[in-house]
Structure 1
Amino acid sequence: MTFQIQAIHLFNRVGQRRSVKFRLNELNIITGGSGKGKTSLIDIIQYCLGSTGFTVPSGVIRNHVEVFCLELVSEGTRILIARPAPETGRQVNTRMHYSTGFVPADLKLADVQSNTDVDTAIELLSREIGIQENRTDVGAGTRSSFSVSVKHTNHFTLQHQDEIASQSVLFHGQALEWVPQAIRDVLPYFLGAVDVDHLSKLEDLRMKKRELRRLRAADSERSDVSAPPLARRLLREAVSLSLIAGPTMDDAGVVLEALGGLLDFEPSEFEEFADEDQMTILVDNRERLRMRLAELRSSRREVVALMQHESRFSSEAGEQKARLETLNLLPNLSDAETICPLCFTSRPAGDSLAATLHEHLTAISAELEDVRGDTPQLQKVLDEYDKELNELSAELRLNQEEIEAGTTAHDAFIQARELNLTRAELRGKVRLYLSSTRSQIESSFTQSRIAELQEQVDLLERLLDPEGVQERLSTALALIGQMATEVATELQLEHAPAPTNLDIRKLTVVVDTPEGRYPLREIGSAENWLGYHLAVLIGLHSYLGRTNRPMPRFLFLDQPSQVYFPADHKDPSEEDLGEDDRESLIAIYSAVRKFIATSPSGFQVIVTEHADLEEEWFQDAIVERWRGHEALIPPEWLSGQSGDLG
């Protein structure tokens, strides 16, 4: 039992439907330019098949789609599985719609209303394709429980554009941290090497081995702890911490008794340093005092400079005035109006030289009086500055003493707290030591539990039959490798026709050549990476189909032609292909078409492409062409027009 995809239906918030329909057991191609929504189809399929995240890109699709729906066909039975978009502020929506039977041609939003939860819907679909009900309680690690379901088939049916030609990733989602182990767990089941119970037993074996390692480690530590040298070392440490007055003793009884006394020690309760806020205030006050002190000193320097300047001026001006007055050069102003003050000869009336000299002398005398009047005021200001400077200096010294005292107290607090913590840690070590040496019953129980677990581990390993599993797995991988080698040879890949194999442990392709074994990461060229991806996927699905394993019979390939186009072409077309690259791309599609044609149980391949080859078979395979305004989200939705696009 299995399924293929008949259609992907999208519903917007007003109930309009956009349907992308596919042909069963055929090659289906959607070709179009960049940004049309081709790659988003993978995200939609994952979401409808129960993914724990919503990876549909933000933008047009998220803004317009209300419900995502897959219409599946399983042996003639139609299955509808739909999931609403996450509500605002949520990562996913945990409600789903699941129904089987008749699907109306004019499917409405009301037909896919949620009727169950995600887990139930995925369980029903898993049963539909033949995966039996199963669940393993892990109890630890990243997975609280684990079960094989249809969700795990996505790893083998989907190839994102970043994966299809990857050198390091073979399966879908493999780059995520937790996925590789999940793939290793489920692949043997899908290949038929083990049954579903094998997975639960395998997880049970892992848990018991984990507990066994823990108990053995604890038992080993207990044995180490019981050694007498440890007791003496603990006692010496207690003496160094002043918990016990030395000297230390070698007698075991005395040592144990002394250590027992340490259990009465109660560590002190230490809050934050009580004067922390006061220290902050002191430091802030010191900065304020320093700034004020600097301001005062600067102002004082300015006053002193002014007084010195005025003193020099007063001295020089006084000397000049004194000379003039001593020489008696200037007569009375009334006489000076007609007598020259230099030669004492008569001068014409109106000559103002004497008056001018008298005016200068009077001005100098006035300035001298002003300067002599300012000096006492400046001295007063200077005295006030000196007084405040002395007060500030005293206050700053007191402040510094308080800061130093606070710092000393803080250092003492830190030392006391660290000593207290060290003493508390030692008490914990002593308690562990004494409990281990005095718990023979517990030790005996641990030994009994270890023996019991070892028996259970041995039984599970026999039931799991690792040799039989490995034999069945090797057979399956050999058949897969045989088909992969044929495809690689047809594609003329590097190292072909050397055997091509799937390495399930490292989850990669390995080519065995006479020169050595080459994993995919050691093989060059994106064309080879694409080819080996396709070869192994065809080999895998060929084996799964021929053995009727519970795996969907479809493969979704996202833009395989990308390796043939120049890297800087955002929206490449067929004209960008060289002749050799065009032939290589045709060879890729020929391998896909051959696989579909020869698959005994039928197989569907869906490809999203930039390329639009003119070959008739390629044109016949196109189900939609998204160019111009055509895209996954129709222009009618963007413009708000009504009507469905079936």
Structure 2
Amino acid sequence: MTFQIQAVTIYGKQPGQVHTVPFEPGSLNIVTGDSRRGKSALLTIIDYCLASSDYPVKSGKVREYVSAFAITLVKPGEQLFVARRAPESKKGVSTVLCILSQTPGSPPPPLDELRFVTPRDVAKGLLSDFCGIDRNIRVPAVGRATLIAPSVRHALFFCFQAQNEIANEDVLFHSQGEEWRPNTIRGVIPYFLGATDREQALLRNRLRLARRDLSDHEAKLAIANNLAPAAGQAQALLTEAIEAHLLDPAPDHEATAEGVLRLLREALLRRGPQPGPDRTDDPLTELRAYRGELRGRASRARVRIADLKAALAENSDFTDQANEQRARLATLGLLKRDPEASAAEQCPVCDSPVRSAHATVTALTTDLLHLQGDLHAIGSDTPAIERMISHEEGQLQELRSELARNQEEINEVTAASRTLDQEPDDVRRAAIVQGRISLYLDTAAQLAVGPRMEDRTEELRTRIAELETLLSEDVQGDRLTSFLSLINQEIRKKAQELALEHSSSPIRLDVNRLTVVADTVEGPVPLRDMGSGDNHLGYHVATLLSLHEWFAENDNPVPGVLILDQPSQVYFPPDHVGEEVLESDDRILLLNIFKAIHRTLRRLDGKLQVIVMEHADLEDPAFSDHVVHRWRRRDGQALVPAAWIPPEAD
């Protein structure tokens, strides 16, 4: 079982100032009261103490009069106390936390006994362990070539609903509206739903490493290959030798490694610079011009590849549709020609002549022949297009290698020019160039006499093929589809209990678009098109309750906590600031939300804790019996005690 929240504690800036807000695990906890009493700060404090990278607590009295925050986390037989200092004035977010393992039931320690020494990354790991997250798992990040290590921070996507999220038509999960978060949520959902197989995750990681090893190995082989074009450093040294008059500026120097090495050895044997006209051209200008030409060729190659792939896709689409039509028309073969009535066809069932079908059948047969001809032409074109794509991709890879060599040559020539420009004497310049050539040739000689690099390309490719075969069965995809199907049934059931629009249609959680969709006879209806705010609120609550039922019943590593901030806001006017009586219909709709929460809590029997911050204060037992804190301005009750605030600042 994962953790729930026992209490939130704040420490004031004066000695001895401590205020603890307790909560009841495994049940509904409602904190109601006027605005600006610190209700919404509870969610941000919990977020901050769970190793947030920023400081989410909004400005106001909480920021002004609190020096440290803490939360007490509990699960059967265990208790963890987590504290974090508030940022000091004009300083960054605190990067260290205090984490203490306590005996269950222990109160928060005094501030002066806390030692803030645990780095945030370490604290995140400890909290992930306490949550039950397997830190050896890696899942692919959607849209990026990286892997994600799921942590407690990712689990909170499904535990928080801030005030601007609880009824948002465009956002279903916590912090979904922030940059890069949607792809992260898509990446971790399979793990938290239990669809990620640990062995499969390890195999994916091995496949990624094997592909990287193959790429590195092929690059090293290209460098070690004597028949390959000369390295950029060798080409740059050749250019320097020509600039220093150690070699003639012949335009047809050999480009192979062997040819360049021969010329460099020749330059090393020269005794000083040879008389001759100075070069008027700038080698850097030539190199950069050549780089521009290479980039243009590479760009044109990419365009050709894109065009060829588009043509291939069109051929594939046409072939699929044409094959379907051919299969339908092929049934004409069942009609047999009647030899005694040439204008008639015979029914395949009773063998009686069908005279009226002749003209139609003839036309359709002609169409079938044309269609078969088109399919034959397309079938002939497709391999040719695939060969052209392969050829163009090979050309593009060669251009990329040439660009890399060109950049290396530019770097070498630029560095050498800076050194040689400081030498006014031609003889000294030539000597410096010969020294650089000597060092390079010595290194090349050592490589030549050393053992040749073993070609492991086939071995690596075989390993990659084996891993791809093991991963060919989309176990995760099948499991995810199955699990979502079961969760979708619960979402629809709750939507019907809440009498939400479109709840009579199949409802599904779309993990690609991160929204809820109703599949109606008119087409799919996403959350943003599902009517008013009470529908958006209802589907948020129905989805999150259904997910937490799944998490709890399958012991998945998501905190057994759901925090909802101001669900009643859709029923209050925009300028609402204090107590206000809800209309009868709105009151019924809001109570239905709390009754749905109660049904889930009863079903999970202590495995889920729900904390709700509210403006509303309803007299119905479904609400009033679960109010744990009531912060009214007239009573002086708030998160930050009135005694902490100077009279002149209140």
Q: How far did 1:602 drift?
A: 2.9
- Corresponding position of 2:481: 474
**Partners in 2 of 1:507 and 1:552 — Cα distance?**
20
Q: Output aligned runs, 1:170-209, within 5 Å.
A: 170-196=172-198, 198-199=200-201, 201-203=203-205, 205-206=207-208
SS at match of 1:131: coil
Q: Output aligned runs, 1:65-80, within 5 Å.
A: 65-80=66-81
**Residues 565, 572 of structure 1: 8 Å contact kept:** no
**Residues 136, 203 of structure 1: 8 Å contact kept:** yes
CA 1:616–1:473: 2 relative to 1, 3 Å: same
Q: How far did 1:160 drift?
A: 0.7
**Partners in 1 of 2:558 and 2:508 — Cα distance?**
20
- Corresponding position of 1:584: 589
- Corresponding position of 2:27: 26
Q: Which amino acid aligns with 2:587?
A: R
Question: Which one is further off, 459-468 or 427-436?
Answer: 427-436
**Partners in 2 of 1:160 and 1:561 — Cα distance?**
13
**Residues 508, 517 of structure 2: 8 Å contact kept:** yes
SS at match of 1:496: coil
Q: Which amino acid aligns with 1:635?
A: A
CA 1:32–1:80: 2 relative to 1, 3 Å: same
**Residues 139, 147 of structure 2: 8 Å contact kept:** yes
CA 1:617–1:535: 2 relative to 1, 3 Å: closer
- Corresponding position of 2:97: 95
**Residues 158, 173 of structure 2: 8 Å contact kept:** yes
Q: Which amino acid aligns with 2:520?
A: T
Q: Which amino acid aligns with 1:486?
A: K
CA 1:197–1:71: 2 relative to 1, 3 Å: farther
Question: Which one is further off, 629-638 or 598-607?
Answer: 598-607
Q: How far did 1:184 drift?
A: 2.4
Q: Which amino acid aligns with 1:42?
A: L
Q: Which amino acid aligns with 1:598?
A: R
- Corresponding position of 1:520: 527
- Corresponding position of 2:576: 570
Instruction: Please state if 1:491 is matched with 2:481.
Output: no
Q: How far did 1:51 drift?
A: 1.3
Question: Which one is further off, 423-432 or 518-527?
Answer: 423-432
* Count of aligned pairs: 474
CA 1:597–1:252: 2 relative to 1, 3 Å: closer
Q: How far did 1:84 drift?
A: 2.0
- Corresponding position of 1:276: none
**Partners in 1 of 2:26 and 2:114 — Cα distance?**
26
CA 1:595–1:488: 2 relative to 1, 3 Å: same
**Partners in 1 of 2:99 and 2:255 — Cα distance?**
73
**Partners in 2 of 1:565 and 1:493 — Cα distance?**
19
**Residues 546, 600 of structure 1: 8 Å contact kept:** no
**Partners in 2 of 1:517 and 1:60 — Cα distance?**
46
**Residues 501, 536 of structure 1: 8 Å contact kept:** no
CA 1:622–1:601: 2 relative to 1, 3 Å: closer
- Corresponding position of 1:432: 405
Q: How far did 1:537 drift?
A: 0.7
Over residues 255-291 of structure 1, what are the superposed CA-to-partner deviations in whole Å (9 max), with x where a residue is unaligned?
x99xx99xx9xxxxxxxxxxxxxxxxxxxxxxxxxxx
**Partners in 2 of 1:551 and 1:85 — Cα distance?**
26
Q: Which amino acid aligns with 1:186?
A: V
**Residues 556, 605 of structure 1: 8 Å contact kept:** yes
- Corresponding position of 1:6: 6
**Partners in 2 of 1:203 and 1:602 — Cα distance?**
33
Q: Which amino acid aligns with 2:588?
A: E
**Partners in 2 of 1:459 and 1:78 — Cα distance?**
46
**Partners in 1 of 2:173 and 2:403 — Cα distance?**
53
CA 1:599–1:638: 2 relative to 1, 3 Å: same
Instruction: Please state if 1:157 is matched with 2:159.
Output: yes
**Residues 98, 116 of structure 2: 8 Å contact kept:** yes
Q: How far did 1:124 drift?
A: 3.0
CA 1:609–1:435: 2 relative to 1, 3 Å: closer
**Partners in 2 of 1:172 and 1:458 — Cα distance?**
39
**Residues 186, 512 of structure 2: 8 Å contact kept:** yes
Q: How far did 1:9 drift?
A: 0.8
**Partners in 2 of 1:23 and 1:248 — Cα distance?**
85
**Partners in 1 of 2:647 and 2:77 — Cα distance?**
37
- Corresponding position of 1:610: 615
CA 1:434–1:6: 2 relative to 1, 3 Å: closer
- Corresponding position of 1:379: none
Instruction: Please state if 1:423 is matched with 2:286.
Output: yes
Over residues 602-635 of structure 1, what are the superposed CA-to-partner deviations in whole Å (9 max), with x where a residue is unaligned?
3211000111112233111111112213221111
Instruction: Please state if 1:542 is matched with 2:549.
Output: yes
CA 1:106–1:46: 2 relative to 1, 3 Å: closer
Q: How far did 1:105 drift?
A: 4.2
SS at match of 1:104: coil
CA 1:247–1:548: 2 relative to 1, 3 Å: closer
**Partners in 2 of 1:431 and 1:12 — Cα distance?**
59
Over residues 214-246 of structure 1, what are the superposed CA-to-partner deviations in whole Å (9 max), with x where a residue is unaligned?
9999999xxxxx99xxxxxxxxxxxxxxxxx99
Over residues 533-568 of structure 1, what are the superposed CA-to-partner deviations in whole Å (9 max), with x where a residue is unaligned?
11111111111111122222120001111111222x
CA 1:142–1:99: 2 relative to 1, 3 Å: farther
CA 1:55–1:215: 2 relative to 1, 3 Å: farther
Q: Which amino acid aligns with 2:565?
A: D
**Residues 140, 187 of structure 2: 8 Å contact kept:** no
**Partners in 2 of 1:425 and 1:578 — Cα distance?**
74
Question: Which one is further off, 30-39 or 87-96?
Answer: 87-96
SS at match of 2:474: helix
**Residues 546, 601 of structure 1: 8 Å contact kept:** no
**Partners in 2 of 1:494 and 1:134 — Cα distance?**
43
Q: How far did 1:150 drift?
A: 2.1
CA RMSD of aligned residues (A): 4.8
**Residues 52, 92 of structure 1: 8 Å contact kept:** no
**Partners in 2 of 1:103 and 1:80 — Cα distance?**
11
CA 1:530–1:433: 2 relative to 1, 3 Å: same
**Partners in 2 of 1:455 and 1:124 — Cα distance?**
39
- Pairing partner for 1:504 from 511, 534, 550: 511
Q: Output aligned runs, 1:100-111, within 5 Å.
A: 100-105=102-107, 107-111=109-113
Q: How far did 1:488 drift?
A: 0.8
Q: Output aligned runs, 1:237-252, within 5 Å.
A: none
Over residues 149-193 of structure 1, what are the superposed CA-to-partner deviations in whole Å (9 max), with x where a residue is unaligned?
222221111111111111221111112223223222322122111
- Corresponding position of 1:637: 644
SS at match of 2:488: helix
SS at match of 2:42: helix
Instruction: Please state if 1:124 is matched with 2:130.
Output: no
TM-score, L = length of structure 2: 0.62
Aligned residues: percent identity?
38
SS at match of 2:9: strand
Q: Which amino acid aligns with 2:405?
A: L
For structure 2, the 5+ residue unaligned runs are 223-227, 230-247, 268-278, 292-401, 410-443
CA 1:463–1:583: 2 relative to 1, 3 Å: same
CA 1:481–1:137: 2 relative to 1, 3 Å: closer
- Pairing partner for 1:627 from 632, 636, 639: 632
Q: How far did 1:489 drift?
A: 0.9
**Partners in 2 of 1:593 and 1:434 — Cα distance?**
66
**Partners in 1 of 2:407 and 2:127 — Cα distance?**
58
TM-score, L = length of structure 1: 0.62
**Partners in 2 of 1:17 and 1:202 — Cα distance?**
49
Question: Which one is further off, 451-460 or 30-39?
Answer: 451-460
- Pairing partner for 1:134 from 119, 133, 136: 136
Q: How far did 1:75 drift?
A: 1.2
Instruction: Please state if 1:147 is matched with 2:152.
Output: no
For structure 1, the 5+ residue unaligned runs are 221-225, 228-244, 265-415, 642-646
Q: Output aligned runs, 1:25-424, within 5 Å.
A: 25-88=26-89, 89-105=91-107, 107-114=109-116, 116-134=118-136, 146-196=148-198, 198-199=200-201, 201-203=203-205, 205-206=207-208, 422-424=285-287
CA 1:3–1:522: 2 relative to 1, 3 Å: same
Q: Which amino acid aligns with 1:46?
A: D
- Corresponding position of 2:538: 531
SS at match of 1:631: coil
Q: How far did 1:487 drift?
A: 0.6
CA 1:105–1:246: 2 relative to 1, 3 Å: closer
Q: How far did 1:418 drift?
A: 11
Q: How far did 1:98 drift?
A: 2.4
